[in-house]
Each structure stands twice: as structure tokens, then as C-alpha cells.
Structure 1
């Protein structure tokens, strides 16, 4: 069953490779994706290993506090719908930097935007690799390192040969399968409680193994972020929430999805579809996590060393309730999930480097043959994949995928979101502000992560006490963009283009001409 899933996705890649001709075909699927298709693909891109594997484990071990990840991931799409999706589609061509370079001096802005995209994509991808390695290790009993390398090689095949069209269809199929698997697993969990929600939540309240604080039950808040467990917990939770809610609107692999649709109306429709699918899915994560807490013995979801095996809770629950075949199905779906998300991440990172850095910074924006730009994107995909594989192997199978993704969201919210919003809504905003905002947001987020309890000094020597940097790095990103603008000379050219950008961002007039290779 597992190999069949992989074979189907490779067939899709082969068909897509035949259609993905030229830059628009490779980078933006020829802008031919319909609203519902893009909505499912966005959901497929978003419902990652962190959602399916990491959050399930987080809820099983931390109860209510783990479920807050689900809430944050869902609410985040309102920011995308209300502020970003339509202007981005109308003003850009292939990447986030197209929007920023519309008014600013293109070379410095594109260079920083490309660096930010590569950083966010790599952190996010490490989370997927960790989840994938754990699943393959459990499924076919190979070591963690070869499992991660195998996932990386498969992902590169999708991106290098199929481009955005293959990535999109893998994401659509994966979203449908994941929703099917999620409904089936949730129904099985409810079946263990006579299909009664009352009995289910009564059992959750009495689940006796998952708590770190004995007097608390899983439905009480505070098991992960409570002041009794961690003096910095409440502040850490606010920091996480800020990162999740604001970070989605700055995630490069989500933003590039809006370039695959023909117009802004379709971009809006696709976000509405995505919110519906994602909303249902995150409600179902409750059944995975709490189901494991009420049905499985604790020993079954711990590693051999006694650590919490958070990434494997959902597949182990599937095996307990549905046998080996259902375990194979859920594992294959989770694997397809990871491949789809990783392909999207690699696609956005390689597109940004090829289009922004190579063509517009190194080549000064001179006309580059589409074949050359695609070739550079493919080479970049290899490098990004290799770095992610190496770091994932170093971190090992016990790193929580949801936590790692939370860090990627924080970096995206700190670096990308301030400059996107200021470009669209602030006339005075200039090139210096954009570079300062990207640099400050990216630098502060990465430095604070390294100094956090999960960073280079560990819990004992942590200089920054919070696990998630968002509460400090997001305001710093906005402040850097603001000060970089007001402390430098006004840019009459950027201000003159503001009205043009604003008109096009809101109406879409002129967008087609710009995206047809003009």
C-alpha cells in the first residue's frame, strides 16, 4: 500500500513534467489552477506533518494546551484572507519578492527576501523530515537516517522534474486522502466510546497517564504553558499564538500558491475552500490526541528510552484501532502529506533563489532564458534538500514536528509579514525600510531561537527564556521596517508607484500583463 502511494505520485509527476513547459508552467503551473483545486492544494500544503503527527502527540501528552496549536493554525488563515491573498496575486509574478520589488529598488530587496525565504523553508522542511523519518522507521524498520534521506530523494524528484503542477496535484490528492483518513480514525475513536461525545470527553477528563501535573486532567489548561509547570509558560503561549496567527501570511510556500490561479477572485475562493477543509481537519485532531490518551497504554507511545514519541501517536492509534492495513494507510497518507509539503517548500525556496537572487540580483534583472532559470531552481532544490536532511538527522526522531513548525511561523511573521503589509498599505515605505525589516526580523528570530531553551545552550544555559521568539522578534521586525524608513531619505519613485500598486492590488487591472512574461 505504501509503495502504491509513492508510485501514484510519481506517475502524476511524470504527466506534469510533460505539461510544465516554460517558466510560468514550471514555477506557477501555468496559472491554470481552479479555485477549489487551489483551496485543496493550499490545505494540502498547510496540513503538514506538524498538524497530523506533531499536534496529535501534543494533545495526547499536553491536553488542552496541545489543542491550542490547532486553534492557532486555523485562525491564521483569516489574516491571509483579509490582508494578503488578493494584493499578492494582483501585484506579483512568481514570488513574495515580486510584490516588494514593485515599488522598491529590486536588487537589495530581492536579495534579503530570498535569504528569508530560504531560512523559513529550511526550518519548516526540517520538521517534515523529522516526521517522515519517524514514520518510515516505524513502518519498514529501517534506521532514522536512511529513512530521512529516502524522503529527501523522493521530494527532489517531484520538484526537479514536475515543478509546481506536480506539486499542486500531489497536494490535492494528499488533502483528500488525509481528510478521509482523519474521518475514519475519528469515527473509530468515537466507536470506542459508544459514539457518544459525552462518554468520550468524560473518559478524556479521567485519562490517567498523560499529565505532568498530577492534579490536572487533560481538559484543564496549563499542562504545557501553565505558570505552575513553567514560570514563563503564559508568556510563551502568547508568543506562540502571535507566531502562528501572523506567520501564515508570511510563509513563502503558502504565498506562492496564489500565483497558480488566473485572477484575484479565484485566489479569494481558494482561501475560502482552504479555511473550510483546514477547519474540519483541526477539529478532528482532537480525536487523534485525546483518543490516544483514552485508548492506548502509555508505554505504547513512548520511545525505548522513555521519551514522549509525540510524532507517532496518530499512526500507533491507527494500528491499535484498525490493524496493520489501516496503519499502513494512515502512514502512507502521513508520508504523502510530508512529501507534498516538502515539495511545496522546496519549490518556493528554489523559485525564490532562481527568480529573485539569480535573475534579478546576480544578473541585474536582465532577460534570462526560462531554461536557465529553471536549471538554477533545480540546483537550489538539491542544496536546500541536502541541508534539511542533514539537520533533521542531527536532531533525531524525538524532536516534535509541531514545535519546529511553530519556529518557522515565528521567523515568517517576524521577517516577511511586516514588509508585505508596509509595502501594500504605507506610502512612505522605502527600500531601506524593507531591507531593515527583513534583516531585523530574520536576524532577531534566528538569534532568539539559538538562545532559547531548545537552542545551542540547552535549557540550563538558555539566555532567552521562551521557546518561541515571536513575542519579541515580531515587534522587532515591524520596528526595524519602520525605523529603516523614517530614518532615511524619502524615496519619491517608491511613493509615486504607491498609488499604482494600491490600484492594481485592489482591482487586479494590469496584473495579467505583468504575469504573462512582460
Structure 2
């Protein structure tokens, strides 16, 4: 079946349509978005414009952009592949990603918008000692952003490997480098305003593409869900188990525990993702922040319902063996399905949208990481809050270049991993490092600087250490490092341990640190977060 895949792709390439269509459509997207970014950059006249787009976007616009930031290569490529290969258990990613928005809506969206200005560090340091807390917030933001970018870069390598039948590591590495360079250009030129418009364009195209594929799929099976599912089960090695829980996480008690850990990370991680939190500053008030989350949730719901159809459709029409045998493995399910149902033209469209997805998400992450370093570290730690705004923006742009280079290197190393799984790790880091301190800062009167530092660093270090010594890195057939085994932590996702650990660290640190929290600053923060007064 792998040979059949290569043959189909080779035949498409031989006609000249497949690579030409892919290149033309993707180049068209890049050209249009570069023009949009250039036009947006002409209005980047201040620090607020560069970091928060001047808070000029409506809730609807920002909600679509939020979904664009959120619906990444992990969602489109990784989840569709996970459903096609593992069935019901793959769909659990979709459920976790969707439910997570309820946490963001109810607990952090409005409060974060009212309390901060540009970064997550603004919220965490509001009633704490500025310098150590901002340093900790910037550290967690950079680590989370790099984890998240690994998934996007790995997705880029897998996608191009499939489209152009590139098996060599050098060719895939070159593609990942090109993605990184274009992404850096978006951030350097457009700032948050340009990046937001890229997200809006990309999210609209992505949702349109998955709806179109879903309609095509239903048409193939007479618009019958039962026909689709029965054919998917018939062509899968799992048989009817494809439609039941346990295909991926039901082998033993350890895998079931791993599933619980993954679910916890997915549901709690979104509220701690710095690039999601930073988007709330691009709207003018808390009401628009709430509208943003409602619009984002609606877009995400439509998208994930479609991925269910696409995943099972890939199992029915493409088959597990062909998916696993193709360049890119599981991440190739959606593009292969497009090739089967619409030929090279649909493949070109879907591939271009997927590639645009990767570009846009990585640009958003780079924007967030560079803003956090420039605003929290450079301006408020090195310059003690007295940095020149133009110099601060220049530092942000330089940081974006460095982060782009690091993400390219990391993406090359992580190439071949399921991108949905890699994003699950990023969510675990976000939930471990940021969620506990955000909630404590917003809702616990006694919480202090020591508790904040313990919560951030304790959760961050615990999560990263457990990942390094887990089967993700070594000791498994699909580990990043092959041929060695130094793992001692049995779970592939550390969220079950690291997220509660961060809450415990923050709680203990608050009492160990001694000293009373500033009651006046807490009262001021509480009023501001709930009412928006002073924003």
C-alpha cells in the first residue's frame, strides 16, 4: 500500500499538475498575506500597535483569529490521522481541545483582558514583585512557545514529504527552514496587526476546506453516517474496535492512565497558553473578549465535527496501511483523503491550506514569545520599566529572529512525530507552568511572589523533566531519540503529575515565603479584573 501511495503521487507529479498546483496555490496565499502584512505594518506606529494591534479588532474578528491561532497543524493533520488510525481514541483529542475553551471563557478571558496590557507577565506581576515574576512568566512563555512550534514545524516537514514524495532528511529540513523564514518575516513586518489578519484569512480558508471535504465525504457514502462508519471499520485492522474506546489507550492500565493525563493537559492547557491569552489584548474591552471566545468556540466546534468525518473517511477510503506507509505517516491522512476524493487539484488546495495553517500558527507563537521577552525581560527587568518604546519593539523583532532559528532546529529534530501528540505536550507545559499561578493571582487574596515563583518554576521544571525522561524521548519505537533508553517516567504525557504539582508548589510557596500579600493591590486587581475600570 505504501508503494501504491508513492505511485499515485508519482503519477500526479508526472502530469505536472500536482507539484505545480501545490506551488501556485501556496505561493498565491503567501503573496496575498504578505501584502496584507505589509499594509498592516504601515500602521504599526506604537508599541501598542506592534504588541496588541492597538486593541482595534472586534470580538468577531478576534474570535476568528483565535480559532486560527488554535486550529493548527495538530488539529488538521494530527487529529485526522489519529482518528483514521486509532478511531474513537483519536477523536478524544478533538473533545479535549473543544472543552478547553469553556475553561478559557469562564475563568481567564475577561479577567486577563482587564488586568494586563500586552503579555501574561502583566497579569502575574500586577500585585507581585515585578522583576522576578516577569522573568518567570517570560521563561514559561518561551518554553511553551518552543514546544508548540516543534509540532508545527514537524507538520510542515511531513506535509511536504507527502506532497513531493521527499524521503530524505535534508529535503524535509530545507522545507522546515523555509517555513521558519517566512514566519519570521510576518512577525518582523506586520507585528500583531499583520499576524491577526493572516490568522483570520487562514482560519476562514481552513474551515471552508474541511467543510468542503466533509460534504464530499458524505456524498461518497450517500450522505449516510452509518455507511461511512461501517466502511471505516471494515477497512481498518481494528475492525469494529475502531468505533469503540480503547483503540489507542485501552491496552492496559498504564495506557488508560496516560489517556487521563492527556485529557487533563488538553482541557486545562488552553487557559495557560500565552499566545491565546495575548490575543485578548487585541480587543477594546472585556465584552469583546468574551465575544472572542464565543466566536472561537463556534469555529472550533464546526472544525472538529468535520475532522471526525475526515478521519473516519480516511480510514474508509485510504486505509490504515497506506496512511502509515506514506511519507509523513499518520499526519498524511487528510491530504491522502483529498487526493482520493478530488484528485491532484483538491490535494493542492488542502495542502496549501494546511501549509498556510502552519505558517500562521508559528507566526502567532513567535509574536507572543518575542513580545514576552522584549516587554517582560528587556523593558521591565533590564530597563526597570523605563525602556524606550521604539527600542523595545526593536528588541522584540530581534528576539523573533532568534526564536525562528530555534524553532527550525527543533522542528528538524522532532520531524516524524504525530503533531497532535506534540501539541498535547505543549498543553501540558502550559497547564503546569501558568494555570495555577493565573488562578491563584486572580482569585486568592493571600497569594504572594514566592508562591508565584514556586508555582511557575515548579510546574515548568517538573513537566519538562518528566517529558525528557518519558517514552517520548527514549525507550520506545516512536521516541525522538532512537537506540537508547534512559526513561523512568512511564506516561507519555506528564499532565496528570505536573499540573497538580504546580498547584501544590504555589500553595506551599505562599506560606513558606512568609510576608503578607499587598491587600491594597489585591483589591485594586480584583476591581479591575471584574469591572475593567482602569484598563
TM-score for the superposition, normalised by structure 2 = 0.91
Alpha-carbon distance in structure 2 between the residues aligned to 1:118 and 1:141:
33
For 2:395, the equivalent position in structure 1 comes to: 376
1:93 alignment partner in structure 2: 117
Task: Tell me if structure 1 keeps the 8 A contact 2:184–2:401.
Answer: yes
Question: For 1:321 and 1:237, how far apart are their aligned partners in 2?
Answer: 33
CA distance in 2, matches of 1:117, 1:232: 31
In 1, the alpha carbon distance for the partners of 2:227 and 2:474 equals 45
1:467 maps to 492
Aligned partner of 2:42 in structure 1 is 18
Out of 423, 426, 429, which is 2:441 matched to?
423
Q: C-alpha separation between the residues in 2 aligned to 1:47 and 1:239?
A: 22
Rate the CA distance shift 1:432–1:90 in 2: closer, same or farther, 3 A.
same
Please tell me whether the aligned partners of residues 216 and 341 of structure 2 are also in contact (alpha carbons under 8 angstroms).
Answer: yes
Indicate if the aligned counterparts of 1:414 and 1:473 stay in contact, CA closer than 8 A.
Answer: yes
Change (3 A) 1:15 1:141: farther
**What is the aligned partner in structure 2 of residue 448 from structure 1?**
466
Aligned CA RMSD, in angstroms, stands at 1.4
Separation of aligned partners in 1, 2:71 and 2:257: 26
**Residue 40 of structure 1 pairs with residue 64 of structure 2:** yes
1:290 aligns with 2:312: yes
Q: 2:285 aligns with which of 248, 252, 263?
A: 263
2:502 corresponding residue in structure 1:
477
**2:4 paired residue number:** none
The match for 1:390 among 409, 412, 417 is 409
- 8 Å CA contact 1:206–1:217 kept in 2: the answer is no
Match of 2:129 among 78, 90, 105: 105
Of 253, 259, 266, 2:275 maps to 253
* 1:86-485 alignment, distance < 5 Å: 86-140=110-164, 143-209=171-237, 211=238, 216-226=240-250, 229-303=251-325, 309-366=329-386, 368-396=387-415, 398-458=416-476, 461-485=486-510
Query: What is the CA–CA distance in structure 1 between the aligned matches of 2:52 and 2:45, rounded to whole Å?
Result: 11
- Taking the aligned partners of 1:206 and 1:490, their CA distance within structure 2 comes to 65
Contact 2:236/2:319, CA 8 A, preserved across alignment? no
In 2, Cα distance between equivalents of 1:268 and 1:299: 44
In the alignment, structure 1 segments of 5+ residues that lack a partner are: 512-518
Aligned length: 500
Asked if structure 2 preserves the Cα contact closer than 8 Å seen for 1:167 and 1:340, the reply is: yes
Instruction: Determine helix, strand or coil for the equivalent of 1:217.
Output: helix
After superposition, what is the alpha-carbon deviation per residue over 1:286-309, rounded to whole angstroms, capped at 9, x for unaligned? 1111001001144432336xx871
Q: C-alpha displacement at 1:138, in angstroms?
A: 2.9
The answer to whether the 8 A contact 1:437-1:484 is kept is yes
The residue number in structure 2 matching 1:69 is 93
Structure 2: distance between partners of 1:117 and 1:298: 37
User: In 1, are the aligned partners of 2:131 and 2:381 still within 8 Å (CA)?
Assistant: yes
* Cα deviation, residue 216, structure 1: 5.0
2: CA distance, partners of 1:332 / 1:205:
30
> In the alignment, is the contact (CA less than 8 A) between 1:76 and 1:249 conserved in 2?
yes
Partners in 2 of 1:92 and 1:308 — Cα distance?
41
Q: Is the 8 A contact 1:451 1:457 kept in 2?
A: no
Tell me the distance in 2 between the aligned counterparts of 1:421 and 1:144.
Answer: 41
**2:516 alignment partner in structure 1:** 491
What is the CA distance between 1:384 and its match in structure 2? 1.2
CA shift, 1:383, in A, is 1.2
Deviation at 1:457, TM superposition (A): 4.8
**Cα drift, residue 490 of structure 1:** 2.5
Query: Take 2:332 and 2:379, find their aligned partners in 1: how far apart are those partners?
Result: 42
Is 2:199–2:361's contact at 8 Å kept on the other side of the alignment?
Answer: yes
**In structure 2, distance between residues paired with 1:163 and 1:324:** 35
Q: Deviations over 1:421-447 (max 9, x none)?
A: 000000000000001100000000000
In the TM superposition, what is the alpha-carbon distance from 1:461 to its structure 2 partner?
Answer: 4.4
CA–CA separation in structure 2 for the residues paired with 1:297 and 1:343: 34
Q: Deviations over 1:194-218 (max 9, x none)?
A: 1112211222332333x3xxx6521
Correspondence for 2:9: none
Identify if the C-alpha distance between structure 1 residues 303 and 147 changes in structure 2 by more than 3 Å, giving closer, same or farther: farther
Cα deviation, residue 462, structure 1: 2.4
Q: Report deviation, 1:139.
A: 2.9
